[in-house]
Amino acid sequence: MESDVSILFLLMGILKNKKFLGLVAVVAVLLFGYFKCSSNGDSTEYEFADASYRDVLQEVSVTGTVEADPKIELRFQISGEVSAVNVEVGDSVLAGNTLAALDATSLSIKKQSAEADLALAQAKYDQAIAGSTDEAIVVAQASLDKAQADFDKANQDYESTQVLAEESLNSAQLVYDSALTDYDNALATYGEDVVHAYEDLYNKVDSSLSEVNDAMRDLDNILGVDDEDVNDDFELALETASAGQYESAQSEYEDVSWSYDALFADFALADMSDYTGIDSFADRAYALLSDLDNLLDDVDALLVDTPAIGGYSQTVKDSKRTIVASEITDIANAISGLSSAMQTAESAVTSEDTSLKSAEDALFSAEQALSEAQVQADSNVASAEASLAVYEALVAQAQASLDEVEAGPRDVDLAGLQASIDSAQAALDLAQYNLSLAYLTAPVSGIITEVSYDIGENISSADVFLVMVSSDYQVTANVSETDIANVKVGDKVSMTLDAFSYDKIFDGEIIQIDPAETVVQGVIYYQVKAAFVLQDSEIKPGMTANMDIVTAELADVLAIPVKALKYDEARTYVLQVNSLTGEMYEADVEVGVKGDQYVEVLSGLADGDQVVTYVRE
């Protein structure tokens, strides 16, 4: 029997904490997810929970003590300039009386702005519900009719542009075909005169080389370069000529001989069809003949200046000069004939090239005109087609506008407008709350014992504005530094006292937060005071109070168990499992209010999405 009673008292002690029931619910959800996953036979076991809409309650739970200390220090929760002091020392006040106020001009303007935003959001919602007016439908229909007329006109222009483009291309094609025929004819007859002219030029080069060879043989008989013994009879006489004429003539002979040998060897490999090569040979032959002509003149001068002595008799002298004179005449004729042949070949090429170039130019112009006609036609058609597409889009846009005007509001549109209303309402609630912070109200009934500031003075949230005394009991508790940021004056408090049954709940309100820290065994705390909403004669000083301070309360928001959240340095995420592959992956989420059991999900998940709360390999 004593064992049963002990168990009963143990259960009653556990149930004194309201969070027990919520914990039971969380455990049930997690167990369901665990058994659901482990039943599939996979070696990896997961525990799941569903994202769902529920209430999220953020509480700070502490243990305090009932005290009879009548002194209550009151502070503003914001800083500002004192604009009103409604009490004096000795005044009696009731709970809820406004004791003082700060300048709230800016806060009032923000509240008015929030009210206007809410009214605007509501007006847009009401306008969507009311639908469009008859006048708006008439205007939308007129816009559609005009867009259709513009489209029809653009379609006609497009068809006309296609016809004109085709005609322009056909005309340009005819001109091109005619020019191509003329070019083919010119190309077919090209080269006949050129072939004959270059055959003659080739022969002239060949005969010029023969003339050079004959002249060089006669000159060697005089100068004795190739055959050093041939002029032994009169070489001594030649060497007596002034200014080294003999040696100079021999050197000049060697240069001409070298040029002749090189040209002769190259010309032996000449290709009759290589007109450029023949031109080059002709130029070299002409230069060779010119050099040989100069050499002949110099040798004749040498013969004239050499005195008739020894073996170089006057008869020999006259004979040699006659030979040189004959060669001078032959070389001059060769130069003249070669020059004439070169000019004839050049003229033939020029004439043929001129005719062919004229045909080529005409063909190029016709081809360019055809290309330009094609580009212009393509451009005109593309422009007309683009214009047609624009007008077609305008018709579709006008039709969509008419459909939208004629149709009623969609649920998705109303949802967005309702969200705007909710957002504006939240902003107004925040503005109203911020405005309320500018007013200092009596948390309980009592007597004012001290007023520290006057109108016009500035005060911070850490300064005590006034002190009052009350005969009502209060609960004093220490809140850790990790939780104090969530606690504020005015927060509702749900309390149970160890001296009473666990189901007897006392409502209270935070009336004071000490700005100075209290260190208990090396841990930093901040002292808070809570007042009972209703006094109870059974409450005694020194009783232990279990306090649940409600710091945030959300209704019907998307939430998941806190256990599902994961963190790294830069993000917050949850684990999910791909239903097809069975692979686990990370999904980023944005969270809001975090309660003891559930956390609000702002983005990243949808209703019904499963998240992993535990993994067992």
Selection from 128-132, 317-321, 418-422, 538-542 with the highest mean pLDDT: 317-321
307 occurs within a structural domain: yes
* Cα(396)–Cα(390) distance, integer angstroms: 10
Residues 355 and 479 in one domain: no
Determine the Cα–Cα distance for residues 409 and 400; give it in Å rounded to an integer. 14
- In a domain? residue 269: yes
Average pLDDT over residues 400-406: 79
Give the mean pLDDT of 366-392. 90
Collapsing DSSP to helix, strand or coil, 232 comes out as coil
pLDDT of residue 37: 46
Of the residues 341, 364, 382, the one at which a domain ends: 382
- Tell me which residue range forms the domain holding 480: 47-69+472-616
Whether residue 485 is found in the same domain as residue 365: no
By C-alpha distance, which of 148, 146, 130, 149 is closest to 405?
130
Residue 23: pLDDT band with limits 50, 70, 90: very low
Rounded to 5 degrees, what angle do the CA atoms 42, 44, 46 make? 105
Q: Given a cut of 50, is residue 360 above it in pLDDT? A: yes
Q: Are 7 and 590 in contact (CB under 8 A)?
A: no
- Phi/psi of residue 21, nearest 5 degrees: -65, -40
Distance CA 589, CA 465 (A): 43
Residue 580 CA to its chain's centroid (Å): 34
Residue 18 clears pLDDT 60, i.e. is over it? no
Inter-CA distances, 176 with 85, 165, 173, 185, Å: 102, 17, 5, 14
Within this chain, do residues 322 and 215 fall inside the same structural domain, yes or no? yes
Q: Flag whether 540 is in a domain.
A: yes
Quote the pLDDT of residue 116: 93
- The per-residue pLDDT for range 221-243, each reduced to its tens digit, is 999 999 888 888 888 888 887 66
- Contact, 610 vs 36, CB < 8 A? no
**Percentage of the chain exceeding pLDDT 70:** 92
Mean pLDDT of 294-321: 90
Mean pLDDT of the chain: 86
Beginning with the edge strand found earlier in the chain, give each strand of the sheet holding 466-469 in spatial order: 71-74, 466-469, 446-451, 92-93
Last residue of a domain, one of 314, 348, 382: 382
Q: CA 216 to CA 510: how far, in whole Å?
A: 133
CA distances from 95 to 98, 127, 250, 405, 491 (A): 9, 44, 141, 56, 16
Confidence of residue 435 (pLDDT cuts 50, 70, 90): very high
| Residue 497 placed within a domain | yes
CB neighbour list of residue 402: distance below 8 Å, 6 or more residues apart: 137, 140, 141, 143, 144
d(CA 552, CA 208): 118
- Domain identity same for 477 and 368: no
Is the pTM here over 0.75, yes or no?
no
What is the mean predicted confidence (pLDDT) over 189-200?
84
227 shares its domain with 372: yes
The helix (run of H) or strand (run of E) holding residue 552 is strand 544-561
CA angle 69, 75, 77 (to 5 degrees): 135
Same domain, 374 and 498: no
90 phi/psi in degrees, rounded to 5: 100, -15
pLDDT for res 406: 76
Pick from 118-132, 172-186, 322-336 the range whose average pLDDT is largest.
Answer: 322-336
Residue 265 has φ and ψ, to the nearest 5°, of: -65, -45
The per-residue pLDDT for 39 is 43
Residues 198 and 331 in one domain: yes
Rounded Cα distance between 457 and 333, Å, is 128
Q: Name the pLDDT band for 286 (thresholds 50, 70, 90).
A: very high
Mean pLDDT of 115-134: 86
Question: Could you tell me the CATH number of the domain that includes residue 508?
Answer: 2.40.30.170
Question: Is residue 143 in a domain?
Answer: no
Q: What is the DSSP letter of 533?
A: S
Q: Summarize the confidence of residues 540-559 as an average pLDDT.
A: 91
* Position 494 confidence tier, pLDDT thresholds 50, 70, 90: very high
Check residue 34 and give its pLDDT: 47
Please check the confidence at residue 368 and state whether its pLDDT lies above 70: yes
Name the nearest CA neighbour of 494 among 542, 550, 539, 555: 550
Of the listed ranges 113-117, 236-240, 602-606, the least confidently predicted one is 236-240
Same domain, 367 and 243: yes
Residue 459: burial class (beta carbons within 10 Å; 0-12, 13-18, 19+): buried
pLDDT of residue 327: 93
User: Could you give the 3-state DSSP secondary structure of residue 342?
Assistant: helix
Q: Please report, for residues 64, 201, 443, 488, the alpha-carbon distance to residue 510 in angstroms, rounded to integers and kept in the order given.
A: 12, 123, 9, 7
Nearest Cα to 99, choosing from 343, 438, 406, 418? Answer: 438
The residues with which 440 forms a beta bridge, in sequence order, are 100
Give the span between the Cα atoms of 19 and 27, in whole angstroms.
12
d(CA 421, CA 125): 8
Domain annotation covers residue 416: no
Q: What's the average model confidence in pLDDT over 468-489?
A: 89
Domain count, the chain: 2
Asked if residue 410 is part of any domain, the answer here is: no
Beta pairing partners, 177 = none
Q: Is 425 exposed, middle or buried (0-12, 13-18, 19+ CB in 10 A)?
A: middle
**What pLDDT is attached to residue 69?**
65
Residue type, 218: D
The answer to whether position 571 is within a domain reads yes
Look up residue 524 and give its DSSP letter: E
Integer angstrom CA distances of residue 479 from 211, 494, 528 = 128, 15, 7
Average pLDDT of the residues in 435-461: 92
Q: Are 559 and 57 spatial neighbours (Cβ–Cβ below 8 Å)?
A: no
Please check the confidence at residue 599 and state whether its pLDDT lies above 70.
yes
Residues 254 and 376 in one domain: yes
State the first-to-last Cα distance of the chain, in angstroms, to the nearest integer: 45
- Is 508 within 8 Å of 495 (Cβ atoms)? yes
The predicted structure's pLDDT at residue 42: 56
Burial (0-12, 13-18, 19+ Cβ within 10 Å), 497? buried
Pick from 350, 382, 414: which residue ends a domain?
382
Same structural domain, 359 and 243:
yes
